[in-house]
Structure 1
Amino acid sequence: MNNNIKMNHLHKYIITLLLFLFPGIVLAQQTNSRNYIISRTYKQSGANSNDVSKVVTQVQYLDGLGRPQQNVTVGQSPSGSDFVEPIEFDAAGRQTKQYLPYVASGNGAYQNNGVPSAATWYIANSAGLQATDLARPYTESFFEQSPLSRVTGQRAPGGKSANSNVKYKTNCCGELKRYDYDIPTNVISQPGGYAPGTITYVQTTDEEGKTVTEYTDLLGRMVCRQVVAVPGVGPSAVILSTYYVYDDIGLLRAVLQPQYQDQASLTDFAFTYDYDEFGRVVIKRTPGGGITELVYDQFDRLVASRDANQFARGVWSFTKYDAQNRPIVTGEIATNATRTTWTSNVAAIAEHHEERSNGTTAGYTLNKTAPLNATEADLLTITFYDDYGFSKAANLAYNALYYPSNNANVKGQVTGGRVRMLPGNGATGGWLTSVTYYDGEYRPIQTDRELYDLGAGTIERTWRMYKYDLAPIIDIQTTVHLFPGNFNTGYEIYFQHDHADRVLDAVETVDFDDDIIEVNTSAYRYNALGQLQSKWFHSMDGVNYVRRTDYTHNIRGWLTDGKTVYKKAVGDPPLPFFGFGLSYADGASYTNGNISQMQWQNKDEIAFTKGLNFNYDGANRILSSTGLNGYAEIENGLTYDKNGNIKTLVRGGAVLDNLTYTYIGNRLSAVNDASGSNLGVKSGASSYGYDGNGNVTSDGNRGATLTYNYLNFPKTVTMAGKTFIYDYDAAGSKHKYVTDTMTVKYAGGFEYRQVGATNQLYRIPLQEGQAVLRGNKVSFEYFLKDHLGNVRVVFNAKGELLQRTDYYPFGLEIDRNSPIQTPAARNAVNRYNFLNRETQIGTGYVDLLARFYDPTTGRFMAVDPDTEGQDGFSPYHYSFNNPIRFSDPDGRWPECCKGLGDFVTGIGSALNDDIHGGNPITATPGYVGAYNSGRTAGHYAAMVVGAAEIAGGALVAGASGFGTAASGGAALPITLAGATVAVAAMTQGATISINAVDNLKNDKGRVNASSTENTGRGSNHLKPDPKALGDHSRFRTDSKTGKTTNTATYKENPKNPSGFQETKRVDITGNQHGGVPTPHVKEPGTKTVRPARKDEIPNQ
């Protein structure tokens, strides 16, 4: 981005830093006897600085030495009170306790009794928490008594936590192997051990006594990391040692995986790296993933590469750049040139970059940089920046429906691009072009893109309208598919936020071929600290909902249960619909975050009736699960090699498996099932084959043969004489799947089914489920998920149970319907079960985005794209072999516990992010509050303590009243009074960024809503009168002034669950929509927002 442009943009986010030296210009509520810093973040230009809904004010109090004493965030709690975080030091000036934040009134004032108040506040606000463990609302650190003041241990919040310990030592007696790399011979040798005193190591023992040791040489390089999987002496001990090997000039030459200590094969169990004379990696070898070669130009830009599969096909990937060193085109070119030849050819080229050439499809010259002979046919992706001069179809032009104009000054922004289709059954396909238009704050307001195989000229258009003129908080998002012949389908979501922009309600509208249906799909309420506490599902009036889920956590922020209830009739007590509970200190009594027990209950079961206990080894890998109350669906007998490849696994219950795995390196070569059952893995031996990149090409268990595109995504899967075909684009998006029974077409979140020559919209994902065409009617259906994101229950708008699913620990589905559903019937209800990801029709693989997963074997079908970041594990492992605690919904990196994981992710994101352009970000359903709270906590703690351990967590709890009847049982009205209590919790271990203060003031990483996220709608929305007998209008008036604030007109529509369809809405007061201030008119049928005429404004 042009620096001047960027600074002009950032200056609009007015940030104020005021010290005690200027007491006259700060809020009166601050304490003038203390030093303090005030920072303000403006979400709306011209806002009053005391308006907490438009300005976020934070006060940091400091002592006379400049150390932070207390942090206060003004008015951002759900009640409008302050968030307060006290800080405590010992006599040596070390922060020994990191307190959880609490809520207090004061409008930014210093809280004199902050430390004792934190403890008493949690006791007094215990709803939704484990009331037996509310002591110690802080993380405690212990230090050695030396000038180094190194941390020797920590203890997390709560009375049930235990100490973790840290020891600092030097080597003495050959406890560590030494590996050397010789540059001239390119050989790794093991000359012996390290001399005493030349290695320092840090040994960390967690709350469960599990030990991790990291060894560092005198140059500060980590040379080994050891995890004790099985403690003991001699052969009985199992130590997982990952070694890092450097050359004489300090370059990392090899990473030796733990299994290398038993099988010393560099090919099978090592990452190795070759460098050029400039210290750039030119060859890297991945265990199981083959060899990748890389070529750079004289400007240190990667310009060409090839992997093992490309070597076999005789092609290289290439990238070309513009004058600002931004990648503009990528492609693949046929050539058998070696890396050495490429390097020589690239070095002989003097040109720095390609130039724009708007009259061509490529949009750039292609003959100035390597490869000089590239043509448009070789290109796979094209990216345009800075302007809209590139060629594009007329229907991709800016549409002024919501905003009069877009920002033409877009230097530094991605304005559009093209991506090549990669048909699974043919050669390279055609182009899909996309365009993004921005407002003055560089927020995308309109995104257009061409759609694949839905008819020539069909495009998708997405509009985003924002709540403020500065902050990127989405108010309305509309997506329409525009077909030739004036035929449209679409989806729209309205958001309602509280004063701190926490989402309260989501109203979603779907348009299935002009069958427009609008529903209050979900509502969210938060505890006193602003973290999600209760969630409601489906309402036609925004008050009475069909189902409600309440959550409870412990003080550490770990989810302990999620219970969904319903009522049979008005006045009846709430009854269980589905619920699950998690324990961390029962059974095997794990206190380090491993889940020791999971239980659940089904409809009308008063208590938890089924469940599993879990046991783990010292590396936190699951060893066994045992059933509770006769539950038989278990996985036990698990053993692993040192890389985490499963060696044995036994399943019981609905699926009987007794599996033994055989490997060549990390690749599964065969699995043998001695159970005699063909459920799960088939009985007997099944073999597996791979291509050069480590993708499974033959699956003997399923009898499948697979082929892949250049991105390592499947092109075809052939089973039992049937071939299933995938069409991806060159950026990795899946567009089409052809099975023997149907053809599915994916267009963003929209899913079409091809019926003859017609494409019928079949499914649109919702905040908490899906809208599906069943027969000739649209059905709104909702998902209840466990802590991992697995869909356990599907129910419809009437509350009727459609599908129930349990899971084995590694994800194999267990059908709990009565009668058992056939695979076709299960797919017809919902294919998005495990981790809410799509199970593939006909094959049973699960698409986890970056690669496919096989729950029958508990392994991925391809090498992890991020395997170098998990170098101590097999590139095929699933969730660190701890599938009850971790999930891997994107196939790249395991994450923990959804809400808690999003909170921790938010902390990490906040601590490490730079300020980015201001584009909205989306997150997965249900956890926006957790993520944003995490980001705030991360920035907040960073601003206070610098580099230290922080703590925080996303806690939710449940309470609500009940009310009037609705179809399928009594409705659950949403109430505010019962939804504002509970506590926050802390999670250790985030390293704090020095840039946190700036990020806290201008945090564009906070999550906004998308079509798969929990959000809400503007307060101006009216509902049709359910008692009306025909077309009618409704009015809303201000109770204080008596003036009309909104009007809406409705026509009859029997297909809509309300019986009516809104045709026009006039908002006289309220927020602007789409840049159009009130009074304005919204016409849903035409998706238009415009200024209101005088005759449309009622008498004021």
Structure 2
Amino acid sequence: MKKIILLLNLWAVGFTYAQTNLTQTENYIYEKTCLTEDCSKKTETVQYLDGLGRVKQNIAVKATPSGKDIAVPVEYDTYGRQVKSYLPIPQSGTQNGALYADPLSNASSLYGNEKIYAEKVLESSPLGRPLQQKQVGNDWSGHPVQFSYDANTSADAVKKYSVVTSWIEGRTNSELSLSGTYAENTLYKSTVTDEDGNITTQFKNKKGQTILTRKKDGTQNADTYYIYNEYGGLAYTLPPLASASALTLTMVDNLCYQYRYDGWNRLVEKKIPGKGWEFMVYDKADRMILSQDANLRKSFDWIIYKYDVLGRPIYTGIVKSNNSRIGMQNQILGGAVIEGRDNTPLTANGMPYYYTNMHWGLDTLLSVTYYDSYPQQYGFNPPVPSSIMGQTVLTDTPTSDGMSTKGLPVLSLVKNIEDDGWTKTYTYYDRKGRVIGAHSINHLGGYSKTELLLDFAGVIQQSKVYHKRLATDPEKVITQSFTYDQQNRLLVHKHQIDSNPEEILVQNEYNELSQLKNKKLGGSNPSQPLQSIDYTYNIRGWNTKINDPSNLNGRLFGYEMKYSSPVNSNVAPGKFSGIITEVDWKNASEDVLKRYNYSYDGLSRLKDAVYSEPNATVPFNNYYNEHLTYDLGGNIKTLKRNAFPVNGSTATQADDLVYDYTGNQLTKVTENALNDSGYEGGNNLITYDQNGNMKDMLDKGIQSIQYNYLNLSNQYTVHQSSAFGQMSYSTMNYLYRADGTKLRKTYSSAPPRGSTTTRITDYLDGFQYTYTEGGGICLECRTESAFEQQAYRNASFVFPGNPTPEWKLDFVSTAAGYYSFTENRYIYQYIDHLGNARVSFAKNSEGAPEIIDTNNYYPFGLNHISNSFSNSGFGSFYSYKYNGKELQETGLFDYGWRQYMPDLSRWNGIDQLAESYLSTSTYAYVANNPISSFDVDGRWFNEDGSIRPSTTFDYTPGAYKPTMSFSTSNGMHYNEGGGGGNYTPFGRTQAYADLMTAFYNGGTGGMSNIGGTLRWWTDYEDPDPTVTGIGAFGMLKLKGNASNSNSTSNSLMDNFFNWIQGNPIKVSQFAGMIQAGSTVAEKGLSSWNGASNITKSRIFAETISTKLPASAKALGNASKVFSVAGKAVGVLGIANTVYQWKNGNISDTRAIVDGLMGVAGFIPATAWVSVVYFAGMALYETYGNDGKPLF
């Protein structure tokens, strides 16, 4: 019996047995991740295996907050299939890793009588396809997800679109036509019926290409068609609104996604519905060098991207050329565009840059990135610190162990779009290559300097931010400290401004599943917080309560979400798919229990929101109801909205809107309600530019809107008419960086009386400043259009007079709200599951909490329209409302990349990621389900509703994707968004923090910095067509405690060979080899190479000896054993060789030899050579050469 004990430490070297109480009569895999250098703080997991090598129990040792074990049993049916998936079960104590004879015995203490396993019903065939999937929980036993498999019939009436492709200017030109419907039994048909009975049907052809995805809105089909050219490339996508229309050129132009390719099958032209054509130009290395959209084409501008010899982006800019796409392509035909560092600078837009420019001259330089070494030639360089918080800072001079900044980005220069100001950001690393500091010089000459103290596991223990708006300003210092438990769950987060008393921002308490149980906010005494917030969850892990709205018991806010069991089920029936059907809430300032019931159509679009006050004499007063209808594309057709009674007790109809469209573009809104509240009305036409951006909104008094090359609105002209017919004239101008970060807003207002007032707002690394000049009175007064006055509190009107013009530091954001410099106190916020600011409060002069702002929202984000209006509070942290976004003077919310109109429930422009949401309008907000989803930055949202946690043992994304952030002003944010957790032994809060740290230190994924906040995401394509990919968290080896069963309980090699076993057909084809290599990368190649050489070699050697025969046997007759094994090893060998060579771990000669051996794996006659070479090399280097490369 072979026992494998693997000590996987992120930085430690070695291979050792752990002193635990492991069951010696069982096969097991033991893993330990040290969180401290002496390993006194650690995470431990054990996988016990049965005689067939299958996992039969997972144990997380001492993983609960109280130090108890968590066990997850694994069961198989008589065919060896895992048809049950149990929830993790905290045990009564710890056995130090020993196998539990009856891990289910303690389940009732936590889960009661609930069903604690999900189960699959598989068909009785060799395919073993799922027929049903039943989730955990008693309520879900009778509501399974159902699957069926068939061939198309004549009743399906699948339209048969086709294209005829010709070649024009070196690219495809596909003519679309419709020729009846597909004959019976010519398409594969798979159907998924969710827990609520909503049906999704997918049709595929014999090539495996998806032809049609069909859903039903309740009365009609919502069909999305995919049409391919003769070469297999996607030529057209027809969303539901297009597929239901007659096939005309106008329809195709307005509603269809269109794609054109060159002879290398590279996408060179595409058209998004509502936008003009976009062009892409590539070099010989298949890197996009030039891009141009329709607006840029009008000014003959091209965005250019330059790379160094390693393929790293080094600078971007704008090139002017009145040339066609093919003309630009021909200029670099056959060549690779490569630039390099140069000691002789070139200068553009006032900035010298030390790179060559061999291809195309730059008309505008936008950004520059330096790698490997800090350029010494700049006069604005700050001195590189030798250490930060006691941690040695890496330089380009290698340390004794060979570490340096080689391969790391060290300096970025980013230009302002609207002027020639620059932001210069230096990044500093410790000896492990982790970010420990940054020095950002802003466009005004000030700076934000960030310092991070990391522990052994890379978790932030303390952060400091030093900030100045101008170089001559006094420095502000923000110090934060973090305390964690034994599993690195955040316990205490403290915050300090300058030398002020330290504030306890957050104190967290977790339940035995590591879900946030209680959060205490504010105060300087741990036992006397300003507020204590309780969180509760259902069996699925979905947050159900934030405090108790029916009994606040001294709390300022309570919030309850109901899914399957609403109280008013006769108004809106319960849903079992995770959709929220009822919400109760109460705030202490109003002390009224309020309720919304939500009903949806078959596409999960919100139809009705019915408002009531359950404890009132007449509960259903319908004061704030909304009712919506949609077309097939998700464009709102009608919207009816109620408001508080003007007179009496009958709700006022604030809005009765009818929307008119051309394609997806809203061209006019007709207001039929005889009421001046809500939407302004006016029945004016709306126009758009070539990129689909709204150019005006006359109903709101917005005469014109202009945009920069990133499609960010940067200038508004507003004419507003008062109730007395007097006109005021306003302008708004925005300043952005080339990476999309908003830096400044300038608002000028010329009222009917008084002088013009100008207010400037600066946004600098999370710090917000204002400057006011002039004596006008309309900056905070009610207007008849645009400004959403109901979003602010009432206050007595005060004539501002003529304030002395000066810059004021207003506030800086914190993990729990804001710190107001003008009020010299912390502002805390209750936020709901969508990140909406509900109640803001602060400590008053007597030390008690006082409410300073309260918000009640319609479903799509408009503040409830009451019987009064406000004239105070605008232009500060009070303006951050719906989804935590800033409300603008125009009445639009600024999400970063787009502006949102809550009164119309639409965006001002087209989604940059529209191709990720093909079935819905490019202007629709979160696919019209604003109760279960929210948009992060104007580009993407959690379409799967993943604000809820996962109910599996795997650490998959659940709640609060966008609420974890890293900013230069605040370090790590732990805004849990109302609690949440997952069923892993590792706390959700800190797991997200570690994930952020990993990403920030060079992990895989995407990031953007908007308003000083680093946002992140990952994407993957799930092989199951019924599952939407929501983030490849399991593919990344996290630092600190954020391990998961995918990334730690299985090694890279386990994942790789398990994938081979599950995909024999793919592995037997060359295309499958490429996919296998991609999968290897996804499964964590960077983590594999992060281990020590000796550990890697042994893992590789032992995996070859234990896994390869099983993988080969699983392939059966698909191919000969050595052929397939050679391909498998060849893929891994090539992938690992490239990675090792790029990181300088092996010599050039070794890289060439390894590469040739990898190629040999793909050739049947020499496949055995590849297997013997890599296996033999791994064994020799492991046991015969002390883990060092042979050459």
Q: Would you say 1:707 and 2:706 are equivalent positions?
A: yes
Mapping of 1:102-117 within 5 angstroms? 102-104=89-91, 105-114=93-102, 116-117=104-105
Q: Which has the higher contact order (CA 8 A, sep 6+)?
A: 1
Cα deviation for residue 763 of structure 1 reads 0.5
**Match for residue 442 of structure 2?**
451
Q: Would you say 1:801 and 2:851 are equivalent positions?
A: yes
Kindly provide the amino acid, as one letter, of the partner of residue 285 in structure 2: F
Q: Is the 8 A contact 1:73 1:108 kept in 2?
A: no
After superposition, give the CA deviation of every residue in 1:9-66 in whole Å (9 maximum; x if it has no partner). x985248888xxxxxx344411111111012222333x24xx3x2x222111111111
Cα deviation for residue 635 of structure 1 reads 4.1
Match of 1:37 among 25, 29, 37: 29
How many pairs align? 893
**Match for residue 324 of structure 1?**
310
Cα deviation for residue 116 of structure 1 reads 2.8
After superposition, give the CA deviation of every residue in 1:584-619 in whole Å (9 maximum; x if it has no partner). 12221211111111111222888x722111111111
Mapping of 1:825-904 within 5 angstroms? 825-828=873-876, 830-840=878-888, 842-895=889-942, 900=948
Matched residue SS, 1:868: helix
Mapping of 1:90-105 within 5 angstroms? 90-104=77-91, 105=93
Kindly provide the amino acid, as one letter, of the partner of residue 236 in structure 2: A
Q: Which has the higher strand share?
A: 1
Matched residue SS, 2:464: strand
Q: Is the 8 A contact 2:487 2:986 kept in 1?
A: no
Residue ranges of structure 2 left out of the alignment (5+ in a row): 1-7, 167-172, 396-403, 613-618, 645-652, 720-728, 749-757, 773-803, 992-1025, 1045-1191
Supply the distance in 1 between the matched residues of 2:364 and 2:1042 (Cα, whole angstroms): 37
**Match for residue 830 of structure 2?**
784
Cα deviation for residue 367 of structure 1 reads 2.7
Supply the distance in 2 between the matched residues of 1:928 and 1:630 (Cα, whole angstroms): 28
Kindly provide the amino acid, as one letter, of the partner of residue 769 in structure 2: Y
Matched residue SS, 1:186: strand
Supply the distance in 2 between the matched residues of 1:315 and 1:393 (Cα, whole angstroms): 31
Supply the distance in 2 between the matched residues of 1:933 and 1:823 (Cα, whole angstroms): 47
**Match for residue 365 of structure 1?**
355
Match of 2:578 among 593, 610, 613: 593
Mapping of 1:175-214 within 5 angstroms? 175=156, 176-184=158-166, 186-214=174-202
Q: Is the 8 A contact 2:546 2:978 kept in 1?
A: no
**CA distance 1:650–1:783, shift in 2 (3 Å):** same
**CA distance 1:358–1:478, shift in 2 (3 Å):** farther
Q: Would you say 1:496 and 2:494 are equivalent positions?
A: no
Supply the distance in 1 between the matched residues of 2:808 and 2:14 (Cα, whole angstroms): 54
Supply the distance in 2 between the matched residues of 1:165 and 1:147 (Cα, whole angstroms): 19
**CA distance 1:392–1:499, shift in 2 (3 Å):** farther
Q: Is the 8 A contact 2:831 2:978 kept in 1?
A: no
Kindly provide the amino acid, as one letter, of the partner of residue 878 in structure 2: N
After superposition, give the CA deviation of every residue in 1:805-835 in whole Å (9 maximum; x if it has no partner). 100011101267xx95625435456111101
Matched residue SS, 2:114: coil
Match of 1:765 among 800, 813, 817: 813
User: Which shows bigger deviation, 668-677 or 476-485?
Assistant: 476-485
Q: Would you say 1:609 and 2:593 are equivalent positions?
A: yes
Q: Would you say 1:716 and 2:715 are equivalent positions?
A: yes
Cα deviation for residue 445 of structure 1 reads 1.4
Q: Is the 8 A contact 2:629 2:636 kept in 1?
A: yes
Q: Would you say 1:420 and 2:405 are equivalent positions?
A: no
Supply the distance in 1 between the matched residues of 2:1033 and 2:326 (Cα, whole angstroms): 42
Cα deviation for residue 202 of structure 1 reads 1.2
Match of 1:266 among 252, 263, 267: 252
Q: Is the 8 A contact 1:316 1:333 kept in 2?
A: yes
**Match for residue 1005 of structure 2?**
none
Matched residue SS, 2:976: coil
Kindly provide the amino acid, as one letter, of the partner of residue 908 in structure 2: M
Q: Is the 8 A contact 2:949 2:958 kept in 1?
A: no
Matched residue SS, 2:826: strand
Residue ranges of structure 1 left out of the alignment (5+ in a row): 1-9, 19-24, 125-133, 231-236, 568-572, 942-987, 1007-1100
**CA distance 1:546–1:355, shift in 2 (3 Å):** closer
Kindly provide the amino acid, as one letter, of the partner of residue 834 in structure 1: Y
**Match for residue 432 of structure 1?**
423
**Match for residue 1083 of structure 1?**
none
Matched residue SS, 2:948: helix
After superposition, give the CA deviation of every residue in 1:906-950 in whole Å (9 maximum; x if it has no partner). 944699x9xxxx999956612598578779699xx9xxxxxxxxx
**CA distance 1:930–1:558, shift in 2 (3 Å):** closer
User: Which shows bigger deviation, 677-686 or 324-333?
Assistant: 677-686
Supply the distance in 2 between the matched residues of 1:710 and 1:285 (Cα, whole angstroms): 17
Q: Is the 8 A contact 1:358 1:390 kept in 2?
A: no
Q: Is the 8 A contact 1:676 1:684 kept in 2?
A: no
Kindly provide the amino acid, as one letter, of the partner of residue 22 in structure 2: Q
Supply the distance in 2 between the matched residues of 1:639 and 1:994 (Cα, whole angstroms): 35
Q: Would you say 1:153 and 2:148 are equivalent positions?
A: no
Supply the distance in 2 between the matched residues of 1:762 and 1:74 (Cα, whole angstroms): 47
Q: Is the 8 A contact 1:919 1:1004 kept in 2?
A: no
Q: Is the 8 A contact 2:45 2:97 kept in 1?
A: no
Q: Is the 8 A contact 1:17 1:39 kept in 2?
A: no
Supply the distance in 1 between the matched residues of 2:230 and 2:116 (Cα, whole angstroms): 49
Mapping of 1:45-60 within 5 angstroms? 45=37, 47-48=38-39, 51=40, 53=41, 55-60=42-47
Q: Is the 8 A contact 2:541 2:951 kept in 1?
A: no
Kindly provide the amino acid, as one letter, of the partner of residue 87 in structure 1: V
Match of 2:743 among 735, 754, 779: 735
Mapping of 1:1059-1070 within 5 angstroms? none
Kindly provide the amino acid, as one letter, of the partner of residue 743 in structure 1: I
Supply the distance in 2 between the matched residues of 1:167 and 1:246 (Cα, whole angstroms): 26
Supply the distance in 2 between the matched residues of 1:618 and 1:890 (Cα, whole angstroms): 27
Cα deviation for residue 419 of structure 1 reads 0.5
Supply the distance in 1 between the matched residues of 2:544 and 2:391 (Cα, whole angstroms): 50
**Match for residue 946 of structure 1?**
none
Q: Would you say 1:219 and 2:207 are equivalent positions?
A: yes
**Match for residue 560 of structure 1?**
544
Q: Is the 8 A contact 2:89 2:104 kept in 1?
A: no
**CA distance 1:348–1:65, shift in 2 (3 Å):** closer
Q: Would you say 1:397 and 2:383 are equivalent positions?
A: yes
Kindly provide the amino acid, as one letter, of the partner of residue 999 in structure 1: K
Matched residue SS, 1:784: strand
User: Which shows bigger deviation, 242-251 or 383-392?
Assistant: 383-392
**CA distance 1:179–1:115, shift in 2 (3 Å):** farther
User: Which shows bigger deviation, 622-631 or 824-833?
Assistant: 824-833
Q: Is the 8 A contact 2:111 2:539 kept in 1?
A: no
Kindly provide the amino acid, as one letter, of the partner of residue 839 in structure 1: L
Q: Is the 8 A contact 2:283 2:337 kept in 1?
A: no
Q: Which has the higher helix share?
A: 2
Match of 2:641 among 644, 651, 666: 651
Q: Is the 8 A contact 1:905 1:931 kept in 2?
A: no
Q: Is the 8 A contact 1:298 1:347 kept in 2?
A: yes
**Match for residue 665 of structure 2?**
667
After superposition, give the CA deviation of every residue in 1:857-881 in whole Å (9 maximum; x if it has no partner). 0001111111011111111111111
Supply the distance in 1 between the matched residues of 2:732 and 2:78 (Cα, whole angstroms): 69
**Match for residue 632 of structure 1?**
622
Matched residue SS, 2:684: strand
Supply the distance in 2 between the matched residues of 1:17 and 1:997 (Cα, whole angstroms): 23
**CA distance 1:390–1:302, shift in 2 (3 Å):** farther
Cα deviation for residue 904 of structure 1 reads 9.6
Supply the distance in 1 between the matched residues of 2:1040 and 2:495 (Cα, whole angstroms): 30
After superposition, give the CA deviation of every residue in 1:317-358 in whole Å (9 maximum; x if it has no partner). 110100101111111122111101101101165663333447
**Match for residue 1016 of structure 1?**
none
Q: Would you say 1:168 and 2:153 are equivalent positions?
A: no
Q: Is the 8 A contact 1:14 1:40 kept in 2?
A: no
Matched residue SS, 1:260: helix
Match of 1:579 among 547, 558, 562: 558
Cα deviation for residue 122 of structure 1 reads 2.4
**Match for residue 276 of structure 2?**
290
- TM-score of the aligned structures, taking structure 1 as reference length: 0.77
Kindly provide the amino acid, as one letter, of the partner of residue 804 in structure 1: T
Supply the distance in 2 between the matched residues of 1:897 and 1:212 (Cα, whole angstroms): 17
